[in-house]
Structure 1
Amino acid sequence: MIDRLDHLVLTVRDLEATCQFYERVLGMQVVTFDHGRRALHFGQQKINLHLAGHEFEPKARHPQPGSADLCLIAAVPLEQVMEKLTASGVAIEVGPVYRTGAAGPIRSVYVRDPDHNLIEVAEYVQAAEPLAKEAAVTEISRVLQQRPPGIMGAQQVGEFGILLPLVKMDDGKLGVLFEKRASTMRRQANEICFPGGRAEKSDESKWATARRETSEELGVPPENIHFVGELDWLTGPGRAVIYPFVGFVEGIADMKPNPDEVGEVFVISLERLAAAKPSTYTSSLVTEPEEDFPYHLIPGGKRYPWRTGKVEHLFYELDGRVIWGLTARVLAHFLERLPGEGWSCK
């Protein structure tokens, strides 16, 4: 979805001092645009400058000089950068050191600009000398660095996006919306859950999955479902990977739940849920190999010391309803993230 960074904004105390530093020391071009605004141009990007106390709108919620930490890739060898820094009287705070950039290993030095922002200047480096001689290893490294790490086996067993829906109640307070699955459902009929389902190839992200499924199940337009935040991932039955999100859903008075999936919809106030204490029970996990398991291939054979474990199950009992399983785990995880007593639910 996103291709590249076009520009960013630095809030500075002294426009002239900032321009002189980046132009004289780092070779950027100072440009003027929009009736006197200043920016620092380099490559195909630029840094727009805001004077502290006189920022342009819209701006960051808490603009603060000296709070930035930037990494710039040099167009010349790092040694040449270091010589220029030394000649300009700029102290190298750290480096040269090896770090990991967006596209692979980099070699960096760190300096401070006039506002004491941390500026990292780096160059991409080839693989370490032993690896550089091994073309196959270098190619493997390139392939691995081009892919984001994920959860092993997730695509084979299924990836699901679910939504914990926050809604506004009649009294103006926030509540959490729950579904009771239709009695005709093949799996988990009549159980209480959050909306969600399996990711599809057309989904741009797991958030898109959760949003689409919520829209389909509750019968609300996707534009009424707003991203609030993401919770920790978890594994479900059959090693399926669950990606939970928190969203704010508008217009629930006009929703039309899908009767093939949803038997009932209800809301419990966030304040009440935060005060509730779930009951906790455990069950044991035991490995039971199939009859044709090749015991002769593992040390100890049938006496192999398989690891055992326990699973914690949470139960919320509210208004004659029972919330348990993955829904209770996600709910408890969300509630643990909330501020302490005294926070406002409005």
Structure 2
Amino acid sequence: MASLSSLPDFDPRAVPLVGVDSDLPAVPAAAQTPAALRQRFAAPPPWTPEIVREKKFVERTPAQAAVLVPIVQRERPTVLLTERTAHLSTHKGQVAFPGGRSDPEDRDAAATALREAHEEVGLDASRIEVLGSLPMYVTGSSFIVTPVVALVRPGFVLRPNPDEVADVFEVPLDFLMNPAHHERHALHWQGLRREWFAMPYQDGERQRYIWGATAAMLRNFYRFMLA
């Protein structure tokens, strides 16, 4: 969700690299098991999210939204992500979590995330175990996003909605929880310095470029896991 991709000729890969956080510790593998994740969300430690708000770049009425952070319980756990289609009005072509705007009928953020995951990629709620939520994140396009973290049992069959989703893929959780893969980029635009994280992942011959709000929420998840 989120960033400056609506700007003409804007390629986040071409923006200068400020640094890579290889000096920070990775989350231990033992903390990334389903049992450890359940325990952490059952009794969260004191912690502070690193990023909670982007500098605004779109004037619009704020809207509540939620995304699902789906951790697939494979032998090496993965995070399921989507690539948005190129014709969408916002965040087109970007890597994102399944999710979207809340509906009045949704009882809470988890309900929004589960509904949107089913609508976008066909992920059935019966295979999802919601663990809890991370702090809300406000995008530069005025979405107030609640990340809902969940475990997903393998064996699901996905049915991506071709109007919204160009591709669905998985990235190892231990890759995302290792800050040696967390790049920091900065750009001066409209008189402001704008900064974001990127976590480029080489998926065979294809690079999955995770950046902007998705990378920021993963960074907050890293901070939560390390606390």
Per the shorter chain, which TM-score range? 0.5 to 0.7
Q: 1:315 aligns with which of 198, 202, 208?
A: 198
Write the distance in 2 (CA, Å) between the matches of 1:331 and 1:238.
19
Residue equivalent to 2:184 = 280
SS in 2 for 1:208: helix
> Could you tell me which amino acid in structure 2 is paired with residue 222 of structure 1?
A
Conservation of the 8 A alpha-carbon contact between 1:280 and 1:314 = yes
Q: 1:166 aligns with which of 71, 77, 84?
A: 71
Report the CA distance between 1:273 and its aligned residue: 1.9
> Could you tell me which amino acid in structure 2 is paired with residue 314 of structure 1?
F
SS in 1 for 2:210: strand
SS in 1 for 2:86: coil
SS in 2 for 1:254: coil
Report the CA distance between 1:168 and its aligned residue: 2.1
Residue equivalent to 1:264 = 167
Write the distance in 1 (CA, Å) between the matches of 2:76 and 2:111.
27
> Could you tell me which amino acid in structure 1 is paired with residue 63 of structure 2?
G
Write the distance in 2 (CA, Å) between the matches of 1:273 and 1:240.
23
Write the distance in 1 (CA, Å) between the matches of 2:169 and 2:216.
19
Q: 1:205 aligns with which of 95, 108, 120?
A: 108
Give the alignment's TM-score, normalised by structure 2: 0.65
Report the CA distance between 1:285 and its aligned residue: 7.0
> What are structure 2's unaligned runs of at least 5 residues?
1-38, 40-60
Residue equivalent to 2:215 = 328
Report the CA distance between 1:185 and its aligned residue: 2.4
Residue equivalent to 1:338 = 225
Write the distance in 2 (CA, Å) between the matches of 1:261 and 1:250.
24
Conservation of the 8 A alpha-carbon contact between 1:161 and 1:207 = yes
Deviations 1:3-47 (A, max 9, x none): xxxxxxxxxxxxxxxxxxxxxxxxxxxxxxxxxxxxxxxxxxxxx
SS in 2 for 1:189: coil
Write the distance in 1 (CA, Å) between the matches of 2:93 and 2:143.
21
Aligned Cα root-mean-square deviation (Å): 2.3
Residue equivalent to 2:125 = 222
Residue equivalent to 2:99 = 196
- Identity score, percent: 28
Q: Which has the higher relative contact order, 1 or 2, with Cα contacts under 8 A spaced 6 or more apart?
A: 2
Write the distance in 2 (CA, Å) between the matches of 1:183 and 1:224.
29
Distance 1:279 1:210, change over 3 A: same
Distance 1:252 1:262, change over 3 A: farther
Residue equivalent to 1:77 = none
Report the CA distance between 1:339 and its aligned residue: 4.0
Write the distance in 2 (CA, Å) between the matches of 1:238 and 1:193.
15
Report the CA distance between 1:282 and its aligned residue: 2.4
Write the distance in 1 (CA, Å) between the matches of 2:140 and 2:155.
30
Write the distance in 2 (CA, Å) between the matches of 1:175 and 1:220.
15
Q: 1:250 aligns with which of 153, 162, 165?
A: 153
Deviations 1:169-199 (A, max 9, x none): 3xx1211111011233233222111111001
Query: In the alignment, is residue 176 of structure 1 matched against residue 79 of structure 2?
Result: yes
Residue equivalent to 1:71 = none
Conservation of the 8 A alpha-carbon contact between 1:220 and 1:252 = no
Write the distance in 2 (CA, Å) between the matches of 1:176 and 1:227.
14
> What are structure 1's unaligned runs of at least 5 residues?
1-60, 62-155, 287-307, 341-346
Write the distance in 1 (CA, Å) between the matches of 2:155 and 2:120.
12
Write the distance in 1 (CA, Å) between the matches of 2:194 and 2:224.
22
Distance 1:183 1:239, change over 3 A: closer
Conservation of the 8 A alpha-carbon contact between 1:220 and 1:251 = no
Give the alignment's TM-score, normalised by structure 1: 0.44
